[in-house]
């Protein structure tokens, strides 16, 4: 990446607005050129798309966490000890089989990854999806009620309450994974595609369902789940050609940031770094290296800080011998909004015509 | 402040728009998070609030300068020799007592500071407040007419013309303070408060009525007038606790800039600098050091140049060993709009939740 920086342009980007910390949904929308304050989606919709559910307009989805509750109904572990995928799938299957769906609604649970589960609802009995999260965000407290935030969402709140209560009863004998916390309720509405907005056909290569989901939401093609970072690049090599834009997602830098593991974050960057020559060898006319938010290892959470951007093309204004926050702060791209990155890449790739004569 | 810079983030801010020089009203509105092109107030309203007048919707206020006119009605001193407060109060009192208020209007003159006076009008005979300033901005020329800039403001223009002419007659025998120049006509409309817009309760500590007025306009609490810069900090220490946000205003850097006194400006900064340890000792979760506009000593007036910003918190990206224009230009905050400073401070103080999941 340092070699790319020497022949590229550097800058910083604002993901949403100054001071605003993006969740992964808004962060990726912004990278894909969709202002996340205009295109508002709950986490449920991209998660549902990410696990391969075919959403229809009016469907409601939410992100569930498998969690541990004590005898008094208080949450003792918000992630149920971070179960393995197979363990989680087993209890999700129990719930799916024993649940009696409320009248007029089809209910589907799909395991996402570890403690993460997607809840999908479809049917005429549903109302809106303006529901508050039930996650109390700390242990020792009971789950919050499924609160409707507008009149139209009351029927949905009742249905979800019923479903979550049934799940608690079904899982009552489980030692750890004995209930769900729900957040990111969303009603699915189709977004205008990248093809419609930018004339771009895109391919997204990402391991995690969430990012695959956001990519599908904007009309990108999402091939098979890569098995590793290396396989992500192998898939890129395999499908290289027709599409205009490829999105490659590498998760580990964020994960190590959440862990507060600075050394691990460096190692995660170095692992991706080693794959860069295989990407440049394909001869893309522009490459952007960036993130959908900062996750400082000291802060251990997503943050509002500006995100470094590296843009490589035949037409750069290089300014530094390396890629990093300090170099990017002084770079020629300056401070741009993340939704400007695709237009910038298109310009650098010679894909935009002059505005006016 | 250099010590703060070493552990803070630096940047520059645009107060209104590029190239636009803010008056103190728009400058402070912007700092308080109110885009001054959207929230348009004349200088009269905050001045009136600043001197303690209780404004009602529909009241009209203006900033007057006591000025010196020659026998031919030409302005020979736009500030009437900068009279002392007591001297100014004496002539304002003469005008107030002898004036015959136009029918259907109550007229109040309140001395503000030195040559500065507030004119306050209330009553059914008033129309709009779109009136041009009468200050010719240079000596040797007569005052400009009170020109209505729309149809609705014609009755107000006639009333103000009458009032200013009466004042000239009443003060005809004064050697220096023998008339008024008027500017910043404004009709009072309540702004949405900081509490309503940001959920913030604020306290403003400022000596000058104008800044106290803008603070009141956005719903901040304005305690007793500080006697000095030091007393400003003493008051801060006294009321430290309940409110979310404290605004401390130090005037002298601006005044020395207007005077073209570079050394004096440095001394004014150093005087405030010496008070910084008492502020940091209170343990605020975020501190912003900035101004509402530049006043370069060479230029001697407010200017359009970017304004240096220093933001201190537990989560900085430090970049320089000192606070200054050159360091701020290279700082990690980049170039931000002043209305983004409160959101940024809230983020740094851990007061904002993530946007989207």
- DSSP letters along A212-281, please? HHHHHHTT-B--SPPSSHHHHHHHHHHH-SS-SEEEE---HHHHHHHTT-HHHHHHHHHHHHTTHHHHHT
The C-alpha of A42 sits at a distance from chain B's nearest C-alpha, in angstroms, of 6
Chain B hits for A303, Cβ within 8 Å: 315, 347
| Residue A130: both structure tokens together | 């303006």
Give residue B161's pLDDT. 97
Q: Are residues B23 and B109 in the same domain?
A: no
What percent of chain B stands above pLDDT 90?
88
Give residue A230's pLDDT. 97
| Domain end marker among B187, B208, B243 | B187
Q: Are residues A286 and A201 in the same domain?
A: yes
Whether the Cβ atoms of residue A293 and residue A327 lie closer than 8 Å to each other: no
Q: Are residues B230 and B107 in the same domain?
A: no
Q: Please indicate whether, in this complex, the C-beta atoms of B330 and A334 are within 8 angstroms of each other.
A: no
The C-alpha of A333 sits at a distance from chain B's nearest C-alpha, in angstroms, of 12
Whether the Cβ atoms of residue A58 and residue A48 lie closer than 8 Å to each other: no
Give residue B163's pLDDT. 97
Instruction: Report how far residue B279's alpha carbon sits from residue B283's, in angstroms, rounded to the nearest whole number.
Output: 8
The band of B213, judged by pLDDT with boundaries at 50, 70 and 90, is confident
Chain A within 8 Å of B166 (Cβ-Cβ)? no
Q: Are residues B227 and B339 in the same domain?
A: yes
The C-alpha of B284 sits at a distance from chain A's nearest C-alpha, in angstroms, of 18
Give residue B185's pLDDT. 93
Chain B hits for A63, Cβ within 8 Å: 357
Give residue B262's pLDDT. 97
Q: Are residues B261 and B233 in the same domain?
A: yes
Whether the Cβ atoms of residue B64 and residue B180 lie closer than 8 Å to each other: yes
Whether the Cβ atoms of residue B312 and residue B287 lie closer than 8 Å to each other: yes
Residue carrying the six token digits 């479903």: A163
Chain B hits for A302, Cβ within 8 Å: 354
Q: Are residues A220 and A344 in the same domain?
A: yes
Q: Which residues of A137-175 are buried (b: 16+ CB within 10 A; e: fewer)?
A: eeeeeebeebebeeeebbbbbebbbbbbebbeebbeebe
Q: Please indicate whether, in this complex, the C-beta atoms of A304 and B347 are within 8 angstroms of each other.
A: yes
Q: Residue A247 has what DSSP assignment?
A: E
Whether the Cβ atoms of residue A26 and residue A15 lie closer than 8 Å to each other: yes
Whether the Cβ atoms of residue B230 and residue B179 lie closer than 8 Å to each other: no
User: How far from the centroid of its chain's Cα atoms is residue A229's Cα?
Assistant: 17
Q: 3-class SS at B288?
A: strand
Q: Are residues B338 and B207 in the same domain?
A: yes
Give B356 or A233, the one with higher predicted confidence.
A233
Domain count, chain A: 2
Give residue A50's pLDDT. 81
Q: Assess if residue A173 is contained within a domain.
A: yes
Instruction: Report how far residue A59's alpha carbon sits from residue A125's, in angstroms, rounded to the nearest whole number.
Output: 11
Q: Assess if residue A47 is contained within a domain.
A: no
Q: Are residues A241 and A132 in the same domain?
A: no
Residue carrying the six token digits 């393995």: A84
| Domain end marker among B187, B202, B224 | B187
Per-residue pLDDT tens digits of chain A, which is 357 residues long: 999 999 999 999 999 999 999 998 899 999 999 999 999 877 788 888 888 888 888 899 999 999 999 999 999 999 999 999 999 999 999 999 999 999 999 999 999 989 999 999 999 999 999 999 999 999 999 999 999 999 999 999 999 999 999 999 999 999 999 999 999 898 888 799 999 999 999 999 999 888 998 999 999 999 999 999 999 999 999 999 988 999 999 999 999 999 999 999 999 999 999 999 999 999 999 999 999 999 999 999 999 999 999 999 999 999 999 999 999 999 999 999 999 999 999 999 999 999 998
Give residue A43's pLDDT. 74
Q: Assess if residue B250 is contained within a domain.
A: yes
Q: Are residues B197 and B171 in the same domain?
A: no
Rg (chain A; Cα; Å) = 21
Chain A within 8 Å of B346 (Cβ-Cβ)? yes
Tell me: the pLDDT tens digits for B297-350?
A: 999 999 999 999 999 999 999 999 999 999 999 999 999 999 999 999 999 999
Q: Are residues B174 and B285 in the same domain?
A: no
Work out the angle between the directed axes of helices A154-170 and A85-98 (0-180°, nearest 10).
Answer: 110
Tell me: the pLDDT tens digits for B15-56?
A: 999 999 999 889 999 999 999 999 987 778 888 888 888 888
Whether the Cβ atoms of residue B205 and residue B223 lie closer than 8 Å to each other: yes
Q: Assess if residue A45 is contained within a domain.
A: no
Q: Please indicate whether, in this complex, the C-beta atoms of B330 and A330 are within 8 angstroms of each other.
A: yes
Q: Assess if residue A46 is contained within a domain.
A: no
The torsion angles phi and psi of A200, rounded to 5 degrees, stand at -115, 130
For strand B116-122 and strand B106-113, is the pairing parallel, antiparallel, or unpaired?
A: antiparallel
Q: Assess if residue B328 is contained within a domain.
A: yes
Q: Assess if residue A111 is contained within a domain.
A: yes
From the list A23, A296, A299, the residue facing B356 with the nearest CB is A23
List the single best residue of A12, A20, A32 to mutate versus B (max B Cβ within 10 A).
A20
Q: Assess if residue B51 is contained within a domain.
A: no
| Residue B311: both structure tokens together | 């933001």
Sheet-wide strand order for A334-337: A286-289, A307-313, A8-14, A334-337
| Domain end marker among A130, A163, A187 | A187
Q: Are residues B261 and B305 in the same domain?
A: yes
Half-sphere exposure (CA, 13 Å, Cβ side) for A249? 28
Chain A hits for B349, Cβ within 8 Å: none
Q: Are residues B26 and B82 in the same domain?
A: no
Give residue A47's pLDDT. 83
CATH number for A335: 3.40.720.10
Tell me: the pLDDT tens digits for B218-272?
A: 999 999 999 999 999 999 999 999 889 999 999 999 999 999 999 999 999 999 9
Say whether pLDDT at B133 is over 90.
yes
| Residue B185: both structure tokens together | 């006509």
From the list A22, A183, A326, the residue facing B355 with the nearest CB is A22
Q: 3-class SS at B205?
A: strand
Residue of chain A whose Cα is closest to the Cα of B356: A23
Give residue A209's pLDDT. 85
Tell me: the pLDDT tens digits for B274-293?
A: 999 999 999 999 999 999 99
The residue length of chain B stands at: 357
Give residue B255's pLDDT. 94
Residue of chain B whose Cα is closest to the Cα of A300: B315
Domain that holds residue A273: 2-40+192-348
The C-alpha of A83 sits at a distance from chain B's nearest C-alpha, in angstroms, of 21
Residue whose C-alpha is closest to residue A349's, from A249, A275, A245? A245
The pTM for the full model equals: 0.80
């Amino acid at each position: 990446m340092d070699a790319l920086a020497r022949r590229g342009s550097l800058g910083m980007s604002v993901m949403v607005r100054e001071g605003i910390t993006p969740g992964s949904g808004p962060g990726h929308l912004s990278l894909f050129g969709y202002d996340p304050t205009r295109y508002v989606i709950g986490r449920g919709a991209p998660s549902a798309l990410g696990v391969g559910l075919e959403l229809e307009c009016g469907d409601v989805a939410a992100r569930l966490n498998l969690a541990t509750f004590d005898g008094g109904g208080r949450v003792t572990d918000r992630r149920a000890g971070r179960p393995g995928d197979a363990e989680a799938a087993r209890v999700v299957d129990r719930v799916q089989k024993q649940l009696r769906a409320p009248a007029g609604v089809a209910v589907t649970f799909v395991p996402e990854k570890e403690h993460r589960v997607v809840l999908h609802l479809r049917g005429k009995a549903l109302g809106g999806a303006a529901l508050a999260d039930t996650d109390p965000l700390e242990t020792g407290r009971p789950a919050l009620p499924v609160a409707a935030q507008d009149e139209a969402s009351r029927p949905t709140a009742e249905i979800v309450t019923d479903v979550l209560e049934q799940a608690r009863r079904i899982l009552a004998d489980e030692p750890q994974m004995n209930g769900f916390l729900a957040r990111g309720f969303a009603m699915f509405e189709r977004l205008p595609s990248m093809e419609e907005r930018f004339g771009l056909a895109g391919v997204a290569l990402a391991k995690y369902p969430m990012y695959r989901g956001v990519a599908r939401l904007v009309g990108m093609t999402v091939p098979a789940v890569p098995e590793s970072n290396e396989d992500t690049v192998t898939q890129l090599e395999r499908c290289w050609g027709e599409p205009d834009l490829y999105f490659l997602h590498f998760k580990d830098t964020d994960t190590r940031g959440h862990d507060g593991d600075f050394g691990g974050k460096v190692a995660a960057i170095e692992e991706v770094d080693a794959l860069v020559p295989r990407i440049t060898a394909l001869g893309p006319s522009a490459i952007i290296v960036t993130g959908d938010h900062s996750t400082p290892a000291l802060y251990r959470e997503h943050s509002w800080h500006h995100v470094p951007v590296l843009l490589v093309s035949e037409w750069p204004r290089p300014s530094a011998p390396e890629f990093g926050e300090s170099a990017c702060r002084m770079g020629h791209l300056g401070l741009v909004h993340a939704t400007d990155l695709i237009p910038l890449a298109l310009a650098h790739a010679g894909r935009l015509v002059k505005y006016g004569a």
